[in-house]
Amino acid sequence: MKEHENSGVSPAGPNAPKASGQPPRGKRHHGWRWLGVVCALIVVALSAARAFLPSLVRDYVNRTLDRNLLYAGRIGGVTIHLLRGAYSIHDVRLSQRTGNVPVPLFAAKRVDFSIQWDALLHGHVVGRFVMHQPELNLVASSNLNEAQTGAGGPWLETIRDLFPLTINSAVIEDGSVHFRTYESQKPVDVYLSHVNGSVDDLSNIRDETNPLVATVQAAALVMDQAKLEFKMTLDPFSYRPTFHLAVRLLGLDVTKLNDLALTYGKFDFKRGWFDMVLEADAQEGQLTGYVKPLFRHLKVFSLTQDLKEDSVLQFFWQALVGGATTAFKNFPRDQFGTLVPFTGNTSGTTTTDILATIGNVLRNAFVRAYLPRLEIGQSIVQDFTFEAPDFTQALSTTDSEAQ
């Protein structure tokens, strides 16, 4: 009996398994099989989502865009990017339902919605969207049904419905903006091309104390030729619009505006260059600012050309406009221009100071020529600077004048 107890042999016999604290081999294999099944189900679910989710999202986006009573919206397709929390809509088109406007209000080759990953570093989960080759068409017409302005559309609400997160930033890549009218004998199209811009920090993820936390910056070419710069800071949380903005256009060939000038001014340009500076400030919807239009080396009237091409009335009108711009130009700089102060509100009511405008025509002509820069001592947009212009010799403007 003692020999049996001291032999170290288990009562269950010599072939009994030793206790090791691990599950039997069969159970381990069973666990791996379950893990494989779960992984397979995940792969199948992701594959199904990739196959069916785009069509479901496309239908949802089309319904969202098409519920506007004034504008009909459609897209061509959807691409889902599950791993980076994004999706893209392709061939976007918004068209006015009423009237006979031949161009859409908005079109884009692609719009991407995604999580803004760098905002996670600031503890915020927000979104961003990027518009690739967007096109905006604004149409002027005396017939309200033929005009197209985009007014009346709940566009911010539409963007919120298209993406579940708060939009904090937006990017425009290679866009265009067209100002059109089809009422003249020749359709007018004044446009911006190669528009590239960004809107940043709409939700104040950096917790800035300055109320003007959001920034907007953009650059474009006017009529594929002259550089336009746009800079803006704004308060996205203000009940009424509160912002500072500055715009500068340099060196536009005025002959590219002849269709516009003939339609609304009944004259055309023979040669010249156009510069413009605009500054504006809005505080709770109350607007103040100025615009500074400047024409250099301008020629409006040509005796031989206008006598040959114009009617009698247009000939005399062309001569009057040409004579006025010549009589009140700054001869050393060969420039006609003025500074137009304006006040009003952002709801659409704006008034200009006519007497100040006329006085500034005389100031530019006989005292000192205005330059295409933000006004020193009058600039209401603080800390805004623009790049020095890259003019050709024909534009006859030095960097020191424009900076």
Residue 61 lies in a domain: yes
In a domain, 391, yes or no: no
> Is 60 exceeded by the pLDDT of residue 52?
yes
What is the predicted pLDDT for the residue at 221? 97
| Model confidence pLDDT, tens digit, residues 367-403 | 999 999 988 555 555 556 666 555 444 444 434 444 4
388 part of a folded domain: no
Do the domain assignments include residue 225? yes
Residue 123 lies in a domain: yes
pLDDT above 60 for 214: yes
Q: Does residue 88 sit within a domain?
A: yes
Cβ contact 370:337 at 8 Å = yes
Nearest to 168 by CA among 132, 204, 210, 209: 204
Summarize pLDDT for 303-315 with one digit per residue, the tens.
888 888 888 898 9
Measured distance CA(219)–CA(227) in Å, rounded: 7
Range of the domain at 119: 41-370
pLDDT in tens, 5-47: 455 545 555 555 555 555 555 555 566 667 666 776 766 666 6
Q: What letter would DSSP give residue 226?
A: E
Quote the pLDDT of residue 14.
Answer: 52
What whole-number distance in Å separates Cα of residue 351 and Cα of residue 229? 25
Q: Considering the domain boundaries, does residue 285 fall inside one?
A: yes
| 324 has a pLDDT exceeding 90 | yes
| In a domain? residue 336 | yes
Q: What is the pLDDT of residue 363?
A: 96
- Number of structural domains in the chain: 1
Give 143-201 as a 3 state SS string.
CCCCCECCCCCCHHHHHHHHCCCCEEEEEEEEEEEEEEECCCCCCEEEEEEEEEEEEEC
Give the E-state strand segments of 39-122 in sequence order.
71-74, 77-81, 86-96, 106-115
pLDDT tens digits, one per residue of 165-187: 999 999 999 999 999 999 888 89
